[in-house]
């Protein structure tokens, strides 16, 4: 079958197409309607159907192939490797679900997870799905202030965490960060289940902090059936940075997500039951949700969960794991490949990679030199893909499970089935149909199954943020610029809003700006993303001081910069730390007072700024250029 025919059918006969895809999962009760779009832009998929994510990921495979590998955990941080069969995974997930149920967790309740990359994190996610509870995973690197914001928004009944994570051999204690977050939060969770790895001693709060180990021992082999949930019941929320300081809780459904992942594992990633899939992401990000925990397991594959760096104990660790566990599909990020590019290339050919059919990359734009280097190094197809936390699965890529297709360097590929992708003119909002025309990448509604239902507890923000940017039309904005070549391949050019992409992590510049502005020495601040050879982009802050004397000497300026960076570390976490804080005398603004972040970005990257007609004081940019030059 030609892929274009497959894609056309998904758009011209969506009911027939998605009914077929829905057969890839189990339903306790069949659906009555494929998609309800009576209240656009909201879409309800597989209305009337009842299913369960945990059943589809674990129970049905445990019944058919109990001894087949399901979860492979490898930690080079603590030197352990462990494999769970589907039967063993079911036993652990059921025990975790019993523990949660004993603490009062039921369908619709929220459970916040603040976990390192350990098996118990996957157990907890699947246990929530088993009960119909809504999990909200927060990346283990987030600091207390950011964590408190997410606790207040999710309002969890219970938190599951661990004593510590580890990165590069450095232990990162979680419990003090969590205790401080709960102190800062207005919402106080009643209970906290703690997994003690023995990495960092911690104090327990009486009647609140519970020890996972003895509870697990008591709960093992206690029967607990899955709770069958309506297809449109929320399965989880996951916070993503926005153009305001408040993160958005992306809300995902149950049935649509299960179908979307089952279809993507088959059609996009060409995964098959009994094979092994290796995603190098973290469960704190959407890739970890979709392609470490749920997607591979729903497809009946073993999923490899890795705790560690790509260069420890050496730069061959990932390829050693591909050989050892006969990995057939691997998912990583361009930043990770650029890290490996600095290592001995001999590691790329040291191991037997014959099982691997393709390496999939996503998270930030993939540049041609990096793609060519890794493709030639491992001798495998490199498949870029483009998507967002909001969509949950790829928007643009190549559907290798449908038809062969040649990757095009620099392009993530073509629109995936179910997505009505368009490019719009920035000024007129008209649809661009010609080749090589730059436009805003948008998707016509309804969004396909698996995409966000809404923003958690804020339908207005969902409509306002994503669907209201084009006058006279209601289309979903990705906030990315793109062009399309004559063969229909898309090339992503960058963001149209104030979100930057650092090593695959989306960061809202407004959130970082608000943190820096809270420093008593700072009068004004602007944060922009600038190009970086390793990470794709890094955050760079420009700050105007209340009293310039605070930076009268290089030593004073350096000390103040250190204070500001430490503040970002403590409130948002190291992932949000700017590469530098440049202390300047003024920021470029329009006559109406709007900060010109794109002009700052151009100056920082050594590019021409372009039209200066809207700048209130054009000399401000020249002063910044001189100040940056002097600082270097």
Domain limits for position 508 = 502-631
378 and 466 co-located in one domain: no
394 and 431 co-located in one domain: no
404 and 482 co-located in one domain: no
d(CA 306, CA 114): 17
521 and 485 co-located in one domain: no
Which of 334, 414, 407 has the alpha carbon at shortest distance from 374?
334
Helices vs. strands in the chain: H and E counts, helices first: 20, 32
- 125: tokens are 């996610």
Domain boundary (417, 440, 467) is at: 417
350 and 465 co-located in one domain: no
237 and 358 co-located in one domain: yes
Strand partners, 532: 536
d(CA 54, CA 236): 13
310 and 183 co-located in one domain: yes
176 and 144 co-located in one domain: yes
Q: What is the pTM of this model?
A: 0.84
160 and 231 co-located in one domain: yes
Q: What is the pLDDT of residue 571?
A: 85
Domain count across the chain: 3
d(CA 185, CA 189): 10
d(CA 485, CA 161): 47
155 and 289 co-located in one domain: yes
Q: What is the pLDDT of residue 592?
A: 45
Q: In what order do the strands lie in the sheet with 536-545?
A: 522-532, 536-545, 580-584
CB 302 within 8 A of CB 155: no
Tell me 199's DSSP state: S
CB 298 within 8 A of CB 65: no
Domain boundary (417, 447, 470) is at: 417
d(CA 177, CA 160): 14
470 and 560 co-located in one domain: no
Domain CATH number, residue 428: 2.30.38.10
Give the largest CA-CA distance in the chain.
72
Domain boundary (458, 474, 495) is at: 495
| 10-residue stretch averages of pLDDT, the chain, 632 residues long | 96 98 98 97 98 98 98 98 98 98 98 98 98 96 88 97 95 95 96 97 95 98 96 96 72 98 98 98 94 98 97 96 98 88 92 97 82 93 95 97 90 97 89 93 97 97 94 91 94 72 68 84 87 85 89 91 92 87 83 67 80 61 76 61
Q: What is the pLDDT of residue 617?
A: 67
Which of 193, 142, 135, 200 has the alpha carbon at shortest distance from 173?
200
Q: What is the pLDDT of residue 115?
A: 97
Q: What is the pLDDT of residue 593?
A: 52
Domain CATH number, residue 531: 3.30.300.30
Instruction: Give the chain's radius of gyration (CA, Å).
Output: 24
How big is the CA angle at 171 (ends 166 and 177), to the nearest 5 degrees? 100
CB 125 within 8 A of CB 137: yes
Burial of 487 (0-12, 13-18, 19+ CB in 10 A): exposed
164 and 45 co-located in one domain: yes
């Amino acid at each position: 079958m030609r892929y274009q025919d497959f894609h056309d059918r998904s758009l011209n006969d969506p009911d027939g197409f998605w009914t077929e895809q829905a057969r890839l999962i189990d339903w306790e009760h069949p659906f009555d309607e494929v998609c309800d779009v009576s209240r656009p832009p909201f879409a309800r998929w597989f209305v009337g159907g009842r299913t369960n994510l945990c059943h589809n990921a674990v129970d049905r495979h445990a019944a058919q192939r109990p001894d087949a590998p399901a979860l492979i955990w490898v930690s080079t941080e603590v030197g352990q490797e462990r494999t769970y069969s589907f039967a063993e995974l079911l036993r652990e997930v059921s025990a975790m679900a019993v523990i949660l149920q004993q603490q009062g967790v039921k369908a619709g309740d929220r459970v916040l997870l603040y976990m390192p990359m350990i098996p118990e994190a996957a157990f907890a996610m699947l246990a929530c799905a088993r009960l119909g509870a809504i999990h909200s995973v927060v990346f283990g690197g987030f600091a207390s202030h950011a964590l408190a914001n997410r606790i207040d928004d999710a309002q969890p009944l219970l938190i599951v965490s661990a004593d510590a994570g580890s990165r590069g051999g450095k232990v990162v204690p979680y419990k003090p960060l969590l205790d401080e977050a709960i102190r800062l939060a207005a919402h106080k969770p009643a209970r906290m289940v703690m997994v003690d790895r023995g990495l960092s001693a911690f104090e327990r709060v009486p009647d609140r902090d519970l020890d996972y180990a003895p509870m697990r021992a008591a709960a093992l082999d206690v029967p607990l059936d899955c709770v069958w949930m309506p297809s449109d019941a929320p399965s989880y929320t996951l916070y993503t940075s926005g153009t305001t300081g408040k993160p958005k809780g992306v809300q995902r459904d149950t049935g649509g997500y299960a179908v979307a992942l089952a279809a993507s594992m088959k059609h996009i990633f060409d995964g098959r039951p009994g094979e092994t899939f290796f995603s190098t992401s973290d469960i704190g990000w959407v890739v970890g949700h979709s392609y470490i925990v749920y997607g591979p397991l729903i497809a009946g594959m073993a999923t490899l969960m890795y705790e560690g760096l790509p260069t420890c104990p050496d730069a061959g660790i990932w390829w050693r794991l591909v050989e050892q566990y006969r990995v057939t599909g691997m998912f990583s990020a361009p930043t990770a490949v650029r890290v490996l590019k600095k290592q001995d290339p001999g590691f790329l050919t040291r191991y037997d990679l014959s099982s691997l059919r393709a390496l999939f990359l996503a998270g930030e734009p993939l540049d041609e030199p990096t793609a060519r280097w890794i493709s030639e190094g491992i001798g495998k197809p490199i498949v870029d893909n483009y998507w967002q936390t909001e969509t949950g699965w790829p928007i643009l890529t190549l559907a290798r499970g449908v038809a062969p297709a040649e990757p095009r360097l620099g392009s993530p590929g073509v629109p995936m089935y179910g997505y009505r992708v368009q490019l719009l003119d920035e000024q007129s909002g008209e649809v661009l149909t010609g080749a090589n025309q730059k436009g805003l990448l948008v998707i016509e509604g309804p969004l396909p199954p698996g995409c966000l239902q809404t923003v958690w507890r804020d339908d207005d923000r969902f409509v306002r943020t994503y669907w209201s940017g084009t006058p006279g039309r209601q289309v979903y904005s990705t906030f990315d610029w793109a062009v399309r070549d004559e063969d229909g391949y898309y090339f992503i050019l960058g963001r149209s809003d104030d979100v930057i992409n650092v090593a695959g992590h989306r960061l809202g510049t407004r959130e970082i700006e608000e943190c820096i502005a809270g420093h008593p020495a700072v009068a004004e601040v602007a944060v922009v993303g600038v190009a970086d050879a390793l990470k794709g982009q890094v955050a760079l802050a420009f700050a105007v001081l209340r009293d310039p004397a605070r930076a009268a000497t290089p030593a004073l300026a350096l000390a103040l910069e250190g204070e500001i960076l430490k503040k970002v570390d403590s409130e948002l976490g190291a992932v949000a730390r700017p590469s530098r804080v440049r202390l300047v005398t003024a920021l470029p603004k329009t006559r109406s007072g709007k900060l010109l972040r794109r002009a700052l970005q151009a100056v920082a990257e050594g590019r021409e700024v372009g039209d200066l007609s809207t700048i209130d004081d054009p000399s401000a940019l020249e002063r910044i250029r001189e100040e940056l030059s002097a600082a270097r």
